Amino acid sequence: MKRVLPGFNITLGFTLIYLSLIVLIPLSALVLKTFTLTWDQFVLATTSPRVLASYRLTFGASLLAATVNVVFGLLVAWVLVRYDFFGKKFIDALVDLPFALPTAVAGISLTALLANNGWIGKLFEPFGIQLAFNPTGVVIALIFIGLPFVVRTVQPVLEDTEKELEEAAACLGATRWQTFTKVIFPAIAPALLTGFAMAFARAIGEYGSVIFIAGNMPMVSEITPLLIISKLEQYDYAGATAIALVMLVISFVLLLVINALQAWQRKRSGAPV
**CA–CA distance, 240 with 238 (Å, rounded to integer):** 5
- 270 C-beta neighbours (distance < 10 Å), count: 6
**CA–CA distance, 143 with 68 (Å, rounded to integer):** 7
**CA–CA distance, 40 with 17 (Å, rounded to integer):** 35
> How buried is 171 (Cβ within 10 angstroms: 0-12 exposed, 13-18 middle, 19+ buried)?
exposed
Q: In 3D, which of 84, 69, 53, 235 has the Cα closest to residue 152?
A: 69
Question: What is the Cα Rg of the chain in Å?
Answer: 22
Give 68's contacts (C-beta < 8 A, 6+ positions apart).
139, 143
Report pLDDT for 125.
87
Three-state SS string across the chain, please?
CCCCCCCHHHHHHHHHHHHHHHHHHHHHHHHHHHCCCCHHHHHHHHHCHHHHHHHHHHHHHHHHHHHHHHHHHHHHHHHHHHCCCCCHHHHHHHHCHHHHCCHHHHHHHHHHHHCCCCCCHHHHHHHCCCCCCCHHHHHHHHHHHHHHHHHHHHHHHHHHCCHHHHHHHHHCCCCHHHHHHHHHHHHHHHHHHHHHHHHHHHHHCCCHHHHHHHCCCCCCCCCHHHHHHHHHHCCCHHHHHHHHHHHHHHHHHHHHHHHHHHHHHHHHHCCCC
CA angle 126, 131, 137 (to 5 degrees): 175
Report pLDDT for 255.
77
**CA–CA distance, 162 with 236 (Å, rounded to integer):** 56
- State the sign of the Cα–Cα–Cα–Cα dihedral 25, 27, 33, 35: negative
**CA–CA distance, 115 with 123 (Å, rounded to integer):** 10
Report pLDDT for 47.
92
pTM for the structure as a whole? 0.84
Instruction: For the chain of 273 residues, list the mean pLDDT of each consecutive stretch of 10.
Output: 63 80 80 86 92 93 94 94 89 89 88 90 88 92 94 90 75 79 83 88 89 88 91 89 89 80 68 51
Report pLDDT for 36.
86
Report pLDDT for 145.
93
Report pLDDT for 5.
58
In contact, 98 and 106? CB cutoff 8 Å: yes
Span 38-269 CATH architecture: Orthogonal Bundle (1.10)
Domain residue spans of the chain: 1-35, 38-269
